[in-house]
Structure 1
Amino acid sequence: MSGRGAIDRIIVVVPARNEEELLPRCLSALAVAVGEVGGVAGQAPPVIDVVVVLDRCSDGTADVASEWPIFASIQTNGGAVGVARRAGVRHLVPTSDRFTSTTWIATTDADSAVPPNWLTVQLAFARNSIDLVLGTVVPDEGLSDGGRERWDAQHRLVEGHTYVHGANLGVRADRYFHAGEFARVDGHEDVRLVSALRGLRVSEIRTELIPVVTSGRLAGRTPEGFAGYLRDQAAEATS
């Protein structure tokens, strides 16, 4: 395949801060998703590289990552998820001559588990000239029954949804860099990137075909992350 639909490389970036308990689930799921790409018939599979970005970890997260030698890991001290995502991309695509339209960037989080078709679906969209894929997330059993009811009542996980989640995002590398990369902030770096990409009028799809399971905890690692959103929902319900 040639032209705008060609993809010969996928890079996956996983920021992690003190996620020794949930990182095994994340990496197990990623290993399955990577394996699924190799099983797609009809076209040569792209090269896939995964990096876990250990950002100011003070627990055993690095030890967990080391148990998965098929995935790379790096350490950062930014203390911000945007810094970690940005550093992960730069680790795998370090120089400007490799900022090509044939590289696909996928991002998730260390407290999340991607579905088996996570990369195959993104690859199919990319090979059909899509530049940006936005998926959905679903809280795991860490969310209380009441929290689950509120979540289900307020979210419609459908094709054409309105959500943006760094835990379930894919973008063509050249578009990513033209949009200015992930901002060095500790929250909403995903929303900022998508806003910049839309300013470039990229081709975009918002899909519910690849829901990512993410932590339902109310105490998260970033002040403006998903846990904070769930916590605000809970507070509104009791006010």
Structure 2
Amino acid sequence: MLAVIVPAHNEEAHLDACLAALRLATACPELHGEPVALIVALDSCSDRSEAIALRHGAEVIAVQARNVGAARAAGAMRALSLGARWLAFTDADTLVAPDWLSTQLDLNCDAVCGTVAITDWGLHCEATRRHHDALYTDADGHRHIHGANLAVSARAYVDAGGFPPLVSSEDVALV
């Protein structure tokens, strides 16, 4: 079994689109029908995130930490308790490709650190975009780590000690 874990804190504006994309990825023919648990770790939510997650058939777990590392870790622990062999992590404001999971598995490795693409630069100034474009590499061999596109075998996750309860850079600490 595979598992996808999505931490969320008041993400009702983005969660519906995220989960719709994940549902496509979990139904990818290249997964050959392997079951996929979709787990949303709601961290101190006071909006409609839970209702949205349930409408998409996700399992919801509640965390009261206001800490993305703790939310990812809680989701991972639930996935491990269900017997997941592969843990894929993304963020509630992220859209994954339909072959996201199958592409990870095709790499036949213990961890996948994928890249991300920013489609809306509206909240950032032009200097930030230029800086990003100058330094970001979206190619094999990149050195980026993003919790929004990270996956690991269950064995490697456990061996590494899981996500530490950090409010940021928990993904870097795990890798």
The partner residue of 1:53 within 25, 32, 41 is 41
SS in 2 for 1:139: coil
Q: What is the aligned partner in structure 1 of residue 172 from structure 2?
A: 191
Instruction: Confirm or deny that 1:104 pairs with 2:92.
Output: no
Does 2:97 correspond to 1:115? yes
TM-score for both structures, normalised by structure 2: 0.92
Q: 1:32 to 1:145 in 2, by over 3 A?
A: farther
The answer to whether the 8 Å contact 2:27/2:33 transfers is no
Give the secondary-structure state (helix, strand or coil) at the position aligned to 2:5: strand
Cα displacement string for residues 165-214 of structure 1 (whole angstroms, at most 9, x for unaligned residues): 111011110111011000011111111110xxxxxxxxxxxxxxxxxxxx
Normalised by the length of structure 1, the TM-score is: 0.68
What secondary structure is seen at the aligned counterpart in 2 of 1:170?
Answer: strand
Count of residue pairs brought into register by the alignment = 173
**1:101-180 superposed matches below 5 A:** 103-126=85-108, 130-143=109-122, 144=124, 146=126, 147-180=128-161
Give the unaligned 5+ runs of structure 2: none
The 1:86–1:76 alpha-carbon spacing in structure 2 relative to 1, beyond 3 Å, is same
Bigger Rg, structure 1 or 2: 1
Partners of 2:125 and 2:97 lie apart in 1 by: 23
What is the CA–CA distance in structure 2 between the aligned matches of 1:155 and 1:33, rounded to whole Å?
25
Q: Aligned equivalents of 2:130 and 2:168: distance in 1?
A: 25
Q: Note the aligned Cα RMSD (angstroms).
A: 1.7
The percentage of counterpart residues that share the same residue type is: 38
Unaligned 5+ residue runs, structure 1? 1-8, 195-239
Higher relative contact order (CA 8 A, sep 6+): 2
Residue aligning to 1:93: 80
Separation (CA, whole Å) in 1 of partners of 2:166 and 2:143: 22
| Divergent runs of 4+, >6 A | none
